[in-house]
Structure 1
Amino acid sequence: MDGLSVLATSFKENVVVKNRKYHMKTYPQCFVGSEAVDYLVQSGNAGSREEAVSIGEALQAMHLFEHVTRDHQFSDKTLFYRFMEGGERGSLKLDENTGKAIEWTNFLGPVGRAGDQSLQPTFDQEKLASIDPKDQHVISTVWPMDELNTELLNNVHPPDWQDPKATESDLYDVVVIGAGVGGLIAAGSSAGVGGKVAMIEAHMLGGDCLNTGCVPSKAFIHSANMAHGLKNDVARMEEAGVFVDPSAVRVDFDQVMKRVRKVRSQISHHDSATRYSKDLGVEVFIGYAKFTSPRTVVVNGQTLNFKKAVIATGGYPTLIPMEGMKMLHDKATSTEICDSERPLVMTNETFFNMTKQPTNMVTIGAGVIGMELSQAMRRLGTKVTVLGRSGKVLPKEDQDMADIVKQQMVDDAVDFKLSVKEYIKLELTGNRSESGLPEMAMTLLEKDSSEPITLICDAVLVAAGRRANVTGMDLEKAKVDYTPEGLVVNDKLQTTNSRIFGVGDVCSKFKFTHAADFMARAVVRNSLFFGKEKMSGLLIPYATFTTPEIASVGLYGKDLDEKGIEYKIIEKHFKDNDRAICDDNTQGFVRFRVDTKKGLILGASIVGEGAANMISEVTLAMQSGTALSTLASVIHPYPTTAEVLRQSGDLLNKEKLTTNVKILLRGIVQIQK
């Protein structure tokens, strides 16, 4: 036996294992992390408590033991761990006393407040620093633990889930690592066509989209837009004959966040472990996956043999290098902090844990996440300053379109400082804001100034980039290459191990839920049916859900210029659209980029109300090879804002009426007279 194996045997024989109680719940036959550290130090196996924690983490990585609810790595704290004995698994464990499924309420105290040619554009990609291959990111703790978040966790991370029992003779057609949208689609689709499928998730099924992204953010934006309409659109409403008293409008931020949690918990049933296990036939494992060879992965002490594997582990937000930031972020994510101390430094992973509204928030990053959440917070009454380095907002989009969104946010009273040269320091002032939250001072230097400035705030949202979840899985043992930007994959989404595929944010510049969805569909065809689906062939639209919305699909002008493709621009403004005029919402326009020879749509962008819905019609036209001129013959209901798409086709057709064509047509009319 090697040294670690000997230590593991000694560890198991000497730590005190017994029943433990917490919040009136008994945890059978487990040991305490801090007591285990005591043993390792006193026995001489560790020279310090810090070294003891490292040894404990190594033993946990050997799957010797696990946290009782699989939420924590080994730590020098009063946390309960149990040795892993295997057993028949694959369902919810039943409470011996009640016969019902064990839920998170069992562990909690009283409820408290809480194509042929790719039409994919190029995006400027952040160059990320190297990463420690042993680093392992885990999404931050869900908070508050009220009945809504409890329901969420019961669905997407059941507290006493029992994994299926895998034998050495079992061979899975597909093992999927990660249960965000990409992983769920890959697993469900593979099982649906008869495959034997295992899906492994370390934290919460549903991934970013359900838990910290699309779903909660859109519910949050809904409340913000309703509040804004009642408080700020008074002149428009009076013009329409509707009179309200804006001073009577009151935002209950706690209720706003409660609704966000309600929406999330309702939708979580679709992504639940029970649904995928019982209804869809996927063998669900909740734990950390580690490759042990190019064709095996271990989870919770069980080895799974696979024919093919899919890595769909997604990504996570990064903090910028700024003195004091990580410390205040870690403070905000601590489970020991009370509501009165939140939010401090947040990312999208912790933003929706808020129950108390900040007075003044600083957002670092003017991309999609930063712009959406900043506008929503301002519309709910928080003062907001958005910081950036490039001088631009929404850098993926045509700048004149992005500036329309920015101007609306300026009108909403959002402040912008987009030429930051250096983020210097973030620290507590020792004071509390009007909201009662801890006050912070952020010091920074702008490019056009020699003197630093200080911003006072009680909340910081960091939305300045994301990293791929590529560490902690021992990818080296699977012969899978990766960089700080993500997995290295080819156009068929294969990694450097041809049996293993990548899906979603872990390997793509298109960090969108629907992109991960269709990448997963392509991988199912490629991995199980000898398909030849190519990532470059996916036509991916995307949208930013600010007011006004902005949506795009296909190539931008800069892409076409770089490729040397001749094109023309066709634009139609909402100020000329009858429905937009009726709705008193004429802001924005549609821009088509059209091939000069065949009139095919090469790319399009829309800024205005309903842009995210309208871009789908454009995507369908591009997917089917329908020319813009053909859209002119598609009958749209009148009056609708989507008529701007048909009218754009009319504009292109009018351009085809050269002088000679007009003379010819006039001659035909004269003959008929």
Structure 2
Amino acid sequence: MTRLHVDLCVIGAGSGGLSVAAGAVQMGARVTLIEGAKMGGDCLNFGCVPSKALLAAARAGKDHAAAMAHVAEAIAAIAPHDSEERFTALGCTVIRAFARFTSPREVEAGGTRITARRFVIATGARPAIPKIPGLDTVPFLTNETLFDPGPRPGHLLILGGGPLGVEMAQAHRQLGCAVTVIEASRILGREEPELAALVIDRLRAEGVTLIEGASAIRAGREGEAVTLALADGRSVTGTHLLLATGRVPALEALDLPAAGIETEGGRVKSDARLRTTNRRVFAIGDATSARQFTHLAGYHAGLVVRQALLALPARARADHIPRVTYTVPELAHIGLTEAEARERHGKSLTVITLPFSETDRAVTDAAGPGLVKLMVHRGRPVGVGIAGPQAGELIAPWALALTARLKLSVMASTVLPYPTLSEVSKRAAGTYFSGKLFDNAWVRRVVRAVQRVVP
């Protein structure tokens, strides 16, 4: 058996693991990177890249075959950046095998035993398969198989009305498929209801059938068709079934007990520094967080490099992590929802909503409906939701504001080019102050006094 002694061993070559490995090796550390499946992980192969490529192709009017070709081209174009060859050239030792811990300081992978000063678990997540009677008797798709070459679905059933479910519903409807989404609670239930409503209305207008508040209790086949029986007595039948019911951390192969690493709720248990119960081991991204975003894994990677390579303190935050659903209209959010903010701040919370129609650019572009929702506590934004064109881009300055804990006055006083959609955020911030300045008896008295006294 080959033995390696390194400074840092990274398990998982998804977005988080690649960021740690690239940063560490370029700073002079001896790094081993282990990946048992595809380099680039979920984001490149089954997640962000293919799903956004499919959405773009569908909106561009491509047919199903051309859209799937575009997906493959997008993955192929980005893959070299995440490849084994690139990381080997950077100086990493790359092992293409699944890793398992053999002790608190060692892992074994592909006939090699690696001893390291620090380890990083960055194994990502896999699709969660619900326990529905009969599901094992029917063919189904997940995000890991949806983008494989194949014929266009005639009628796609999507179980799950979260971001993946609604994105793929809109894309496949635009590709000419009949689409039905089944959600046990509320479509986009994590989002602000009035913002989610803009997306839901658009989906229905495009012909997507949305079923809310009805869980699937049984799956079966009718010839080549797939049928789902629902708890409310209805049944739905389609040619294909996509499971969009969430993802669970991929930890099975690691033998975490051998390393003294505990789990909690199916995830690696970690503290604010992202350390596990084995102080030599960090966990990042989907392996440890309920918020499963590529950008969160990248943020975690930076914190680990800071600690493991430079011995500098670092603590993870969650209040400044944005999320985006890439439908038309887009839906973006950062920080607290209104319900969360009211629970935390009570009567001292101010909530402002502003339609996109308040900005001239939205009018000139006939941009369609849009809405900004702003939660403010004592002059600082604590949560922002945006539904409308380019919401994923418009959330960016709010991400800066919450990261730096800026006062709302900074946004209100920022000079923006005219006309741009970005003005909707500035106008929302200005609305907070306008109530304090205009129609305010005290301000009026001050103004009258100044006019009398100052020549």
TM-score normalised by the chain length of structure 1 = 0.65
- Partner Cα separation in structure 2 for residue 384 and residue 489 of structure 1: 40
Structure 1 residue corresponding to 2:70, chosen from 227, 246, 259: 259
Partner in structure 2 of residue 359 of structure 1: 154
Is contact 1:322–1:426 with CA below 8 Å preserved after alignment? no
* SS in structure 2 at match of 1:198: strand
Partner in structure 2 of residue 605 of structure 1: 385
Q: 1:256 to 1:586 in 2, by over 3 A?
A: closer
- Partner Cα separation in structure 1 for residue 225 and residue 318 of structure 2: 49
Q: Deviations 1:148-174 (Å, cap 9, x if unpaired)?
A: xxxxxxxxxxxxxxxxxx53xx42111
- 1:442 Cα deviation (Å)? 2.4
- 1:666 Cα deviation (Å)? 3.4
Partner in structure 1 of residue 236 of structure 2: 455
* SS in structure 2 at match of 1:652: helix
* SS in structure 2 at match of 1:420: coil
- Partner Cα separation in structure 2 for residue 477 and residue 624 of structure 1: 40
* Matching of residue 270 in structure 1 with residue 81 in structure 2: yes
- Partner Cα separation in structure 2 for residue 629 and residue 571 of structure 1: 17
Q: CA RMSD in A?
A: 1.6
Structure 2 residue corresponding to 1:439, chosen from 225, 240, 244: 225
- 1:422 Cα deviation (Å)? 4.2
- The one-letter code sitting in structure 2 at the alignment partner of 1:188 is A
Is contact 1:628–1:648 with CA below 8 Å preserved after alignment? no
* SS in structure 2 at match of 1:443: strand
Figure out how many residues of one structure are paired with residues of the other and give that number: 452
Structure 1 residue corresponding to 2:122, chosen from 312, 337, 343: 312
- Partner Cα separation in structure 2 for residue 557 and residue 444 of structure 1: 32
- The one-letter code sitting in structure 2 at the alignment partner of 1:284 is V
* Matching of residue 218 in structure 1 with residue 28 in structure 2: no
- 1:489 Cα deviation (Å)? 0.7
* SS in structure 2 at match of 1:348: coil
Q: Deviations 1:315-358 (Å, cap 9, x if unpaired)?
A: 011122223323434xxxxxxxxxxxxxxx10111110143111
Partner in structure 2 of residue 408 of structure 1: 202
1:25-44 equivalences under 5 Å are none
1:134-173 equivalences under 5 Å are 166-167=2-3, 170-173=4-7
Partner in structure 1 of residue 168 of structure 2: 373
* Matching of residue 294 in structure 1 with residue 74 in structure 2: no
1:591-630 equivalences under 5 Å are 591-596=373-378, 599-630=379-410
Structure 1 residue corresponding to 2:330, chosen from 539, 543, 549: 549
Is contact 1:393–1:403 with CA below 8 Å preserved after alignment? no
* Matching of residue 382 in structure 1 with residue 177 in structure 2: yes
Is contact 2:137–2:220 with CA below 8 Å preserved after alignment? no
Is contact 1:551–1:606 with CA below 8 Å preserved after alignment? yes
- The one-letter code sitting in structure 2 at the alignment partner of 1:632 is A
- 1:283 Cα deviation (Å)? 0.9
Higher RCO (C-alpha 8 Å, min separation 6): 2
Q: 1:404 to 1:348 in 2, by over 3 A?
A: same
* Matching of residue 195 in structure 1 with residue 6 in structure 2: no
* Matching of residue 425 in structure 1 with residue 219 in structure 2: yes
- 1:504 Cα deviation (Å)? 0.4
Moved over 4 A (4+): 670-673
- Partner Cα separation in structure 2 for residue 409 and residue 477 of structure 1: 48
Is contact 2:14–2:122 with CA below 8 Å preserved after alignment? yes
Identity %: 32
- The one-letter code sitting in structure 2 at the alignment partner of 1:287 is A
Partner in structure 2 of residue 54 of structure 1: none
* Matching of residue 645 in structure 1 with residue 425 in structure 2: yes
- 1:672 Cα deviation (Å)? 5.4
- Partner Cα separation in structure 2 for residue 374 and residue 638 of structure 1: 35
- Partner Cα separation in structure 2 for residue 325 and residue 622 of structure 1: 43
- 1:484 Cα deviation (Å)? 4.8
- The one-letter code sitting in structure 2 at the alignment partner of 1:411 is A
- Partner Cα separation in structure 1 for residue 399 and residue 13 of structure 2: 27
TM-score normalised by the chain length of structure 2 = 0.96
Partner in structure 2 of residue 50 of structure 1: none
* Matching of residue 350 in structure 1 with residue 145 in structure 2: yes
Is contact 1:179–1:201 with CA below 8 Å preserved after alignment? yes
Q: 1:575 to 1:402 in 2, by over 3 A?
A: same
Partner in structure 2 of residue 528 of structure 1: 309
Is contact 1:394–1:402 with CA below 8 Å preserved after alignment? yes
- Partner Cα separation in structure 1 for residue 227 and residue 424 of structure 2: 47
Q: Deviations 1:495-520 (Å, cap 9, x if unpaired)?
A: 11010010100100110000000101
- The one-letter code sitting in structure 2 at the alignment partner of 1:310 is V
- The one-letter code sitting in structure 2 at the alignment partner of 1:383 is A
- Partner Cα separation in structure 1 for residue 380 and residue 115 of structure 2: 48
Is contact 2:353–2:371 with CA below 8 Å preserved after alignment? yes
Q: Deviations 1:243-298 (Å, cap 9, x if unpaired)?
A: xxxxxxxx5211110111011101111101000111x2111100010111000011
Is contact 2:324–2:331 with CA below 8 Å preserved after alignment? yes
Q: Deviations 1:177-199 (Å, cap 9, x if unpaired)?
A: 00000100111111111110000
* Matching of residue 539 in structure 1 with residue 349 in structure 2: no
* Matching of residue 572 in structure 1 with residue 337 in structure 2: no
* SS in structure 2 at match of 1:264: helix
Bigger CA drift: 515-524 or 629-638? 629-638
- The one-letter code sitting in structure 2 at the alignment partner of 1:536 is R
- 1:537 Cα deviation (Å)? 5.9
Q: Deviations 1:595-649 (Å, cap 9, x if unpaired)?
A: 13xx111111111001000101111122223222221221111110100111122
Q: 1:422 to 1:351 in 2, by over 3 A?
A: closer
Partner in structure 1 of residue 258 of structure 2: 477
Is contact 2:269–2:276 with CA below 8 Å preserved after alignment? yes
Is contact 1:574–1:588 with CA below 8 Å preserved after alignment? yes
Q: 1:579 to 1:670 in 2, by over 3 A?
A: farther
* SS in structure 1 at match of 2:34: strand
- Partner Cα separation in structure 1 for residue 59 and residue 102 of structure 2: 50
Q: Which has the larger radius of gyration?
A: 1
Structure 2 residue corresponding to 1:285, chosen from 95, 106, 109: 95
- The one-letter code sitting in structure 1 at the alignment partner of 2:191 is E
Structure 1 residue corresponding to 2:135, chosen from 314, 325, 330: 325
Is contact 2:13–2:123 with CA below 8 Å preserved after alignment? yes
Is contact 2:351–2:373 with CA below 8 Å preserved after alignment? yes
Partner in structure 2 of residue 342 of structure 1: none
- The one-letter code sitting in structure 2 at the alignment partner of 1:198 is T
* Matching of residue 399 in structure 1 with residue 210 in structure 2: no
- The one-letter code sitting in structure 2 at the alignment partner of 1:384 is V
- Partner Cα separation in structure 2 for residue 383 and residue 479 of structure 1: 50
* SS in structure 2 at match of 1:306: strand
Structure 1, unaligned runs of 5 or more: 1-85, 87-165, 228-250, 330-344, 431-437, 447-451
